[in-house]
Amino acid sequence: MTAEQIIDGYQQLIRRAHSKGVRIIGGTLTPFKGAGYYYTEGEQKRQQVNEFIRTSGAFDGVVDFDKAIRDPDDPKQILPKYDSGDKLHPNDAGYQAMAEAIDLSLFQGRGRSQ
């Protein structure tokens, strides 16, 4: 699957949600360098998809999970203190950091104005 196909899928979901008056919040994809299936092209796709999520304005809000748990010295991987050990899934501290990255005001209000 290409980044463009993933983005197209997001756009379809966003249109469908918005057509029903439902707000949709996007969450960035977290790092996975070091995981068993990591590959350079996959990282490039993740970066492209995250750029769309962050900058397209298509979502009604964005939570940057990538920024919350990435290693500032190697942004392609999870910060070691947040890694469960498989280089893919966060540990409890990582999930806490992700939770703290959520601006709860994103969930105020009811639905989307049309």
Q: What is the pLDDT along the chain (114 residues), one digit of tens a residue?
A: 999 999 999 999 999 999 999 999 999 999 999 999 999 999 999 999 999 999 999 999 999 999 999 999 999 999 999 999 999 999 999 999 999 999 999 988 766 654
> Residues with Cβ < 8 Å from 62, sequence gap 6 or more?
25, 26, 27, 28, 53, 54
| Domains annotated on the chain, with CATH | 3-107 (3.40.50.1110)
* Separation between Cα atoms, residue 29 and residue 68, nearest integer Å: 11
Per-residue pLDDT tens for 84-111?
A: 999 999 999 999 999 999 999 998 876 6
86 and 35 Cβ atoms separated by less than 8 Å:
yes
pTM: 0.92
